[in-house]
C-alpha cells in the first residue's frame, strides 16, 4: 500500500493525454491510463511499473466504462484526479456536406464518452469529498470556425457540461477545470484527415504550435493550486494564434 494519490487519464495513449499521464506520474501520482490501444498502454506500464495501471476501454461503450471502473483493484479505486481527455475531430468540410459517421463518432466520443466516464468516477469523489475533474475542451468550443461545425459543437457541449458539473458539485470540496487548447501538434490532425499526413502537417506550418507538454503544464498547475483555488477555465493558444480562426503564419 502507498499513500500516493491516484489519477485517471482517458486517451493516455497519445498527445495531450499521454503528456498529462507522464506529468502526473512525475508529480508523484499513481495513474490509471486508459485507452483503446493495449500495446501503447503496455509500453507505458513497462516504463513506469507499479505506479501505472493500464485499463483498456472505448469511452463510447457505456457498459465497458462502468465495468472497468467497478472492477478496479481495491488499491486503485480512490481516484482523486480525473482527466477527461479522449476525443477527436473527424473531417473538415461544410456542415451540409459532412459525413454522418464522422458526426456520430465525434458526438459519441467527445460528449457521450466524457459523460460516461464522469458518471462512473465522480460519485466516488463526491462520497469521499475529494477530487478534481479536468476536462479537455478546446478553443473550438468558444466559437465555430470554418468547416469545424460539428467538432466545434462537441467542444461547446464540453464547456456547458463542465460548467454544469461545477455548479452541481459546488457544495462539495471538489474542483472542476476546463482546459481549452488551441493548435497542439499531436496525432489530432492525422486522425481528423483520416491519415492524410501531408494535410495534417500543413495545419502546423508557419507557426510554432503547442505541444502536449504545454497542456500538461496547465493541467498540473490547476491540480496543484491551493485547495481554496478553483481554476475554472484556461484558454491556451500558440503565440501567433488569436482564436480558432485567426492564425498568423510566417
Q: Residue 186, interface with ligand 8X3 (CB under 6 A)?
A: no
Judged by beta carbon distances under 5 to 8 A according to partner kind, the member of ligand NDP, ligand 8X3, none in contact with residue 244 is: ligand 8X3
Q: Catalytic one among 48, 151, 204, 221?
A: 151
Quickly list DSSP for the chain. Answer: -----EEEEESTTSHHHHHHHHHHHHTT-EEEEEES-HHHHHHHHHHHGGGEEEEE--TT-HHHHHHHHHTS-GGG--EEEEEE--------S-GGG--HHHHHHHIIIIIIIHHHHHHHHHHHHHHHT--EEEEE--GGGTS--TTTHHHHHHHHHHHHHHHHHHHHTTTSS-EEEEEEE--B-SSHHHHHTTT-HHHHHHTTTTS--B-HHHHHHHHHHHHHS-TT----EEEE--TTB-SSS-B---
CB neighbourhood size of 182 (10 A): 23
Q: Residue 13, interface with ligand NDP (CB under 6 A)?
A: yes
Q: Which residue of 138, 149, 154, 186 would you call a contact of ligand 8X3, by CB under 6 A?
A: 138
Which positions from 192 to 221 touch ligand NDP by CB under 6 A, shown as an x/- string? --------------------x---------
Q: Which is nearer to ligand NDP, 169 or 216 (CB)?
A: 216
29 is catalytic: no
Q: Which residue of 24, 52, 184, 200 would you call a contact of ligand NDP, by CB under 6 A?
A: 184
**CB-based closest residue to ligand 8X3:** 138
Q: Residue 15, interface with ligand 8X3 (CB under 6 A)?
A: no
Judged by beta carbon distances under 5 to 8 A according to partner kind, the member of ligand NDP, ligand 8X3, none in contact with residue 191 is: ligand NDP
Q: Cell numbers at residue 245, please?
A: 480562426
Contacting residues toward ligand 8X3, per CB under 6 A? 138-140, 148, 182-183, 244
Active-site residues: which are they?
Answer: 151
Contacting residues toward ligand NDP, per CB under 6 A? 10-11, 13-17, 35-37, 58-60, 85-88, 109, 113, 136, 138, 181, 183-184, 186-188, 191, 212
Amino acid at each position: 500500500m502507498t499513500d500516493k494519490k491516484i489519477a485517471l487519464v482517458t486517451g493516455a495513449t497519445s498527445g495531450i493525454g499521454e503528456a498529462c499521464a507522464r506529468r502526473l506520474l512525475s508529480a508523484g501520482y499513481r495513474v490509471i491510463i486508459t485507452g483503446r490501444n493495449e500495446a501503447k498502454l503496455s509500453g507505458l506500464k513497462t516504463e513506469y511499473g507499479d505506479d501505472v495501471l493500464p485499463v483498456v476501454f472505448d469511452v463510447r461503450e457505456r457498459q465497458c466504462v462502468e465495468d472497468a471502473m467497478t472492477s478496479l483493484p481495491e488499491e486503485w479505486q480512490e481516484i482523486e484526479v480525473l482527466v477527461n481527455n479522449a476525443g477527436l475531430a473527424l473531417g473538415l468540410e461544410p456542415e451540409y456536406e459532412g459525413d454522418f459517421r464522422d458526426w456520430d463518432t465525434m458526438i459519441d466520443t467527445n460528449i457521450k464518452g466524457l459523460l460516461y466516464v464522469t458518471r462512473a468516477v465522480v460519485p466516488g469523489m463526491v462520497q469521499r469529498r475529494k477530487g478534481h475533474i479536468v476536462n479537455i475542451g478546446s478553443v473550438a468550443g468558444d466559437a465555430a470556425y470554418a468547416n469545424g461545425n460539428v467538432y466545434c459543437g462537441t467542444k461547446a457541449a464540453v464547456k456547458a457540461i463542465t460548467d454544469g458539473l461545477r455548479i452541481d458539485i459546488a457544495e462539495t470540496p471538489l474542483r472542476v477545470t476546463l482546459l481549452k487548447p488551441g493548435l497542439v501538434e499531436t496525432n489530432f490532425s492525422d486522425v481528423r484527415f483520416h491519415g492524410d499526413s501531408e494535410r495534417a502537417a500543413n495545419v502546423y506550418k508557419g507557426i510554432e504550435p503547442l505541444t502536449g507538454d504545454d497542456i500538461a503544464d496547465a493541467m498540473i498547475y490547476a491540480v496543484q493550486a491551493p485547495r481554496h483555488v478553483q481554476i475554472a477555465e484556461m484558454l491556451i493558444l500558440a503565440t501567433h494564434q488569436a482564436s480558432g480562426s485567426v492564425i498568423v503564419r510566417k
